[in-house]
Amino acid sequence: MYAYSACGGGDLSKSHEILSMDEFRGVKAQPVGVVVVTDSASETKAHRTNCQWVTEESFEKKVIEGRNKNGRYYFFLRLEDAAQELGARECRSCGKTG
Ligand SMILES: [Zn+2]
């Protein structure tokens, strides 16, 4: 099982790139945090972990099959950090109003 505590001394780093399906599933199971998806063809979006657009299928296409050529997936604990570090914008479908 993927465990964030494996990163070291307890404090979570602000962001974490998601590189494997196991990690992706672990992140999807988190009740907190946001999944940030970068895309060479569109703007960087921050989604809630349970967003309908954050799917194993699209992760597999972009990261596993596409080898991060067209975009990457990151996990952030806070939307503010995602906005600051990657310029991520909140997804309209799962954002605060949804
Ligand atoms: Zn979303």
Residue ranges per structural domain of the chain: 16-90
Distance 36 CA to ligand 1 centre (A): 9
Distance 27 CA to ligand 1 centre (A): 14
Residues 76/77/83/86 CA torsion (nearest 10 deg): -20
Residue for token pair 């972009």: 62
Identify residues whose C-beta is under 5 A from ligand 1, the ion.
47, 51, 53, 91, 93-94
Distance 3 CA to ligand 1 centre (A): 23
Res 11: pLDDT: 46
Res 12: pLDDT: 52
Which of 4-13, 37-46, 57-66 is predicted least confidently?
4-13
Distance 17 CA to ligand 1 centre (A): 18
Distance 91 CA to ligand 1 centre (A): 4
pLDDT, mean of residues 62-66: 98
Res 8: pLDDT: 42
Distance 33 CA to ligand 1 centre (A): 12
Q: Is the pTM of this model over 0.85?
A: no
How would you class 10 by CB atoms within 10 Å of its CB: exposed for 0-12, middle for 13-18, buried for 19 or more? exposed
